[in-house]
Amino acid sequence: MVTLTLSLLLAAGGPAVLTLEVKPEAAVVKVDGKKVGTGAKPAVVKLPAGKHVIRCELKGDATTEDIVLKAGEKRTWKWEFTGIEKSPQTTEPIVPETGDSAAPPTK
């Protein structure tokens, strides 16, 4: 009986499976300080039960979250960076303003 119980516990206590889905594609995903993927496609990682740190980075912006996984657990974690500023698009040439101080002195 003890052997059967121990076998069932070991079979159910495998690693946790964490799927990380982040956007946009250029975002970098790290778990416990190690790069595991980018936003180009979901990253699927097997982790031991316990506390883990997820970090997503994009162009100087980042978010970090601590999660606790149970043995054999399957979890999906999602993050999307929003409000990403794009360079302004213009068809007008950019001309510096000239004022009185920019004019050469007259004699």
Q: Is the pLDDT of residue 2 over 50?
A: no
Q: Give the residue extent of every domain in the chain.
A: 15-73
The SS3 assignment for 18 reads strand
Q: What was the pLDDT predicted at 13? A: 75
pLDDT for position 104: 59
Cα–Cα distance for residue pair 12/10, rounded to 1 Å: 6
Closest CA to 52 of 21, 79, 18, 10: 18
**Quick one: pLDDT band at residue 85, thresholds 50, 70, 90?**
low
Summarize the confidence of residues 8-27 as an average pLDDT: 82
For the residues 41-57, what does the mean pLDDT come to?
96
